[in-house]
Amino acid sequence: MHKNRKILLVMARTVLAAVVFLTVPVPAFSDVIVINETLSKLSPGFHMEYLEDAGGTLTFDNIKSEKYQSHWKQSKKEDLGFGFTKSVYWARFTLENISDRDVAFYLEEADAIMWNIRLYAPGGNGYKMIEAGLRKPFRERPVSNRTFVFPLEVKSKTRATFYARFYTQDAMNLHLRIWSPEAFKEKTSIEYHLLLLFDGIIIILILYNLIVFFFIRRFEYLYYVFFVFFTLMFFSTHTGTSFQYLWPDSPWWSAYSTPFFLNLMLAFICLFVTQLVDLKSLSKKKLYLKITYYTLMVFAILFILLSLFTLVSTYLYIIIVSAALTIITLSYIAVMGVILILKEKSRPALMGMIAASFVIISAVVYALKQFGVLPANFFTQWTVHFGIVIMVVLFSISLADRLNIMRRDLQASRDALLDMNRNLEKKVVDRTELLQSSMEELSAVNLKLAEAHRRALIDMSMAANIQSTLFPKAPPDTGEWDVAYLFRPMSGVSGDLYDFYEENGRLTGIALFDVSGHGIASGLITMIARTVFHRNFMKGTNKELNSILEKSNMELINEIGMIENYLTGLLLRFSGDTVEYVNAAHPDVLVRRAGSGDIEIANLKGSDFKGYFIGIAGLEREYETLKFNIGSNDVLLLYTDCLEEGRNKKEERYGEERIFHMLKKAPGGTAGEVLDFIMGDFFSFTAGRDPEDDLTVIVLKKK
pLDDT in tens, 89-139: 999 999 999 999 999 999 999 889 899 999 999 987 889 999 999 989 999
Q: Which of 510, 652, 508, 654 is nearest to 574 (CA)?
A: 508
Tell me, which fold does domain 23-179 have in CATH? Immunoglobulin-like (2.60.40)
Give the model's pLDDT for residue 275: 85
**pLDDT value of residue 171:** 86
Degrees (nearest 5) of the Cα angle 113, 116, 120?
130
The whole-number pLDDT of residue 581 equals 94
CB 163 within 8 A of CB 127: yes
User: What is the CATH number that goes with domain 470-702?
Assistant: 3.60.40.10
Residue 36 CA to residue 103 CA, distance in Å, equals: 7
pLDDT of 22 reads 35
Per-residue pLDDT tens over the stretch 442-487: 555 455 655 544 554 555 555 556 666 778 888 998 889 999 999 9
The second-level CATH assignment, the architecture, of 186-404 is Up-down Bundle (1.20)
From residue 614, how far is each of 54, 442, 500, 526, 549 by CA, in Å? 74, 42, 20, 12, 9
H-run or E-run covering 570:
strand 567-575
- Distance, CA of 237 to CA of 258 (rounded, Å): 6
Q: What is the pLDDT of residue 426?
A: 75
Residue 597 gets the label, from left (phi > 0), alpha (psi -120 to 50) or beta, of left
Domain boundaries, the chain: 23-179, 186-404, 470-702
Bridge partner list, 305:
none
**The pLDDT of residue 281:** 81
Q: Taking the CA atoms of the chain, what radius of gyration do you get in angstroms?
A: 40
Residue ranges of the chain whose pLDDT lies below 50: 1-30, 445, 452-453, 456
pLDDT value, residue 375: 67
pTM over 0.75: no
pLDDT at res. 8: 38
Q: CA-to-CA distance for 163 and 172, rounded, in angstroms?
A: 17
What per-residue confidence (pLDDT) applies to 208? 82
Q: For residue 154, give Cα distances in angstroms to 4, 253, 284, 323, 433.
A: 41, 37, 71, 41, 105
pLDDT of residue 603: 81
What rounded mean pLDDT belongs to the chain? 84
Q: What is the per-residue pLDDT for 147? A: 93
